[in-house]
Structure 1
Amino acid sequence: MPTLPSLEQMTARLRLKQLHLLSALADHGSLLKAAEKVSLTQPGASKALQEIEAIFGVPLFARSSRGLVATEMGHCAIRYARLMQTDLAHLRGEMEDILQGQGGRLNVGVIMGAVPLLTEEITRLLAQYPDVAVEIVEDTSARLLHLLDRGRLDVAICRRSVSAQPQLYDSIDIHHETLAVVSSIDHPMAGRSHLELADLDASRWVVYSANMPMRRLLEREFHEAGLRFPHRLFETTSAFATLALLRRQPDIVALLALDVAEFFASMGVMRILPLALKSRSEPYQLVTRRGAVLSRAAQLFMQSFRDDPEPSPGRSTGPGPSVL
């Protein structure tokens, strides 16, 4: 079994031109066309490919009647080569924005329930700084923290409590989440004026995966009501998947953040059921990696939260870490 070189060895030997060649080979499948794309002669491209494969110690392409075809390891290398090219393009673009006195780039992560809150803040930010470029990544708290660790995000609206090492992050509580049970507008109980959890005991639920904060809260509600937690479940973190399931199967119910539920209910595509939950959810937090140097766009975004003259209901207005 081949042994891969260490990260230090890869870093010392790999060149950006070689990574560009990998992408060009994947696009064209021809050494000649790839060489033209990266401004190399065909012998030069052939030598560069040999050097790349020598660095990794495994073949990245196989020759066939159709030209060069990437191996499984080749596809892996190509994917990361393209990521690095994208990062380099973002680096250049952000540096150019800084030189021109513009806003730069903000990479922000968000959990599904906080999307309305985020879009409100982004709108406020862009009203003041219209040149800021924004990338929004929606995912679970665990995944967003992982992206913060890798430097893929500047800041995330999530919960650091899901991490085994929450001390690695700085955070500010920004919003105390309220949860709602929702259904299709055609659900048999959608017209009721009051519901208890037992009334939905036979329903199929759309829920988050096990051990996630919203899932734990719902499990606690069933336990305190003396009810068995449902076993007929759909598990997803996608609001769109939840909405599609509710529309396809009118007997389904789901647990959503109230802000998200109200957004969809205002469009007439789901109903908020009259069921009051007793448990409180963990607050959303504005999370950064401890010790990370924030870009100017990230600083402006965090300052926007602190300067909000009309904080959302439940939002903490206490002091947070200085970012400017």
Structure 2
Amino acid sequence: MLIAISEHGSLLGAANEVAISQPGASKALHEIETTFGAALFNRTNRGLQANDLGLCVLKYARMIYTDLGHLRNELDAIQKGDGGRVAVGCIMGAIPLLTDAVADLMQTHPGMSVEIVEDTSAELLSLIDAGRLDMAICRTSVSKTPDIYESEHLQSEELSVIANCDNPFARSDRLTLEELAQCKWIVYRANMPMRLLLEREFYNAGIRFPANLLETTSPFATLALLMRNPSFVALASTDVASFFARNNLVRVLPFEFTLRSEPYELAYRRGALLSIGAKLMRNCLLPQ
């Protein structure tokens, strides 16, 4: 009812959508507002508009409505033997690992529904906390409370430096960190694992970390910037770098890091009961 009122801006429109009378819709809204102890909508010349309290309630109402839809679809899929649904998060560097697993899963369970969310480890863990994700390929070390998650080692991560195919260093046989220090770097924001590793690499080599950085967590923004300006360089997982290079989008520069990144983990809430879909995804991801 609340969602319908928000979308139509009137009790009449909301009543028609949920197939009740306008007095019935008015009574339902009154009961809801009485439950919360406050008005949720303001009456304006543009109809009913949600106030701050109403916007907050609407946010959760939409989540509940979406979850009920997922529940219905998952129950239907389980009854048909399709495995149901799974929502899995992934950091950029592990996308090739996840897509391989999803392809395998869809091959054996074609009726399965899979939601993929790409973001930083911190954001993915917060989505697990909120119940929006079943699991995520990320690093629990970024959390202040890593012990609240079950984490299973997936694989180690190797890193590469990538650039535009016309970058001045693109055809070099070997590069030093001193040479790369002269480039304009596209990096993750401060205190993120890949950024910290890059900073330590410069520190250990006694080289000042580049200033005037371009900071982004978006792989698409990174790729677009690299393709727009040949002088830019960026850090990426070797799997992602190889995928881009195979499609002639970037060039992997000939530089080897002395440090190693933290491995990927499959993380989910400790003590949580995994759904059938989540168990199937876990089986596809974990080394056999």
Could you state the TM-score of these two structures normalised by the residue count of structure 1?
Answer: 0.85
Aligned mate of 1:125, from 96, 101, 105: 105
**Contact 2:154 / 2:287 at 8 angstroms: preserved in 1?**
no
**Contact 2:9 / 2:49 at 8 angstroms: preserved in 1?**
yes
Equivalent residues in 2 for 1:217-228, closer than 5 Å? 217-228=197-208
**Contact 1:132 / 1:297 at 8 angstroms: preserved in 2?**
yes
Equivalent residues in 2 for 1:22-171, closer than 5 Å? 22-171=2-151
How many percent of aligned residue pairs carry the same amino acid? 54
Q: What's the offset of the Cα at 1:100?
A: 2.2
Equivalent residues in 2 for 1:227-266, closer than 5 Å? 227-266=207-246
SS in 1 for 2:220: helix
Aligned-pair Cα RMSD in Å: 1.4
- Where has structure 1 moved over 6 Å in runs of 4 or more? none
Worse-matched range after superposition: 31-40 or 57-66:
57-66
Give the letter aligned to residue 109 of structure 1: G
In 2, Cα distance between equivalents of 1:197 and 1:54:
65
- Superimposed CA distance per residue, residues 166-218 of structure 1 (whole angstroms, 9 cap, x where no aligned partner): 11111211111000011111212212111111102222211111111101100
Structure 1 gap ranges (5+): 1-20, 309-324
In 2, Cα distance between equivalents of 1:71 and 1:151:
26
Paired residue for 1:315? none
In 2, Cα distance between equivalents of 1:306 and 1:243:
29
Worse-matched range after superposition: 54-63 or 79-88:
54-63
SS in 2 for 1:52: helix
Closer, same or farther: CA 307–256 of 1 in aligned 2, 3 Å? closer
Structure 2 gap ranges (5+): none
In 2, Cα distance between equivalents of 1:208 and 1:99:
44
In 1, Cα distance between equivalents of 2:223 and 2:80:
43
- Superimposed CA distance per residue, residues 131-176 of structure 1 (whole angstroms, 9 cap, x where no aligned partner): 1110001111111111112221111111111111211111211111
Worse-matched range after superposition: 112-121 or 74-83:
74-83
In 2, Cα distance between equivalents of 1:100 and 1:67:
44
In 2, Cα distance between equivalents of 1:189 and 1:63:
63
Q: What's the offset of the Cα at 1:76?
A: 2.8
Paired residue for 2:268? 288
In 2, Cα distance between equivalents of 1:23 and 1:100:
31
Count of residues in Structure 1 that have an aligned counterpart in Structure 2 = 288
Q: What's the offset of the Cα at 1:241?
A: 0.7
In 2, Cα distance between equivalents of 1:82 and 1:288:
24
- Superimposed CA distance per residue, residues 278-297 of structure 1 (whole angstroms, 9 cap, x where no aligned partner): 10010001112111000111
Could you state the TM-score of these two structures normalised by the residue count of structure 2?
Answer: 0.96
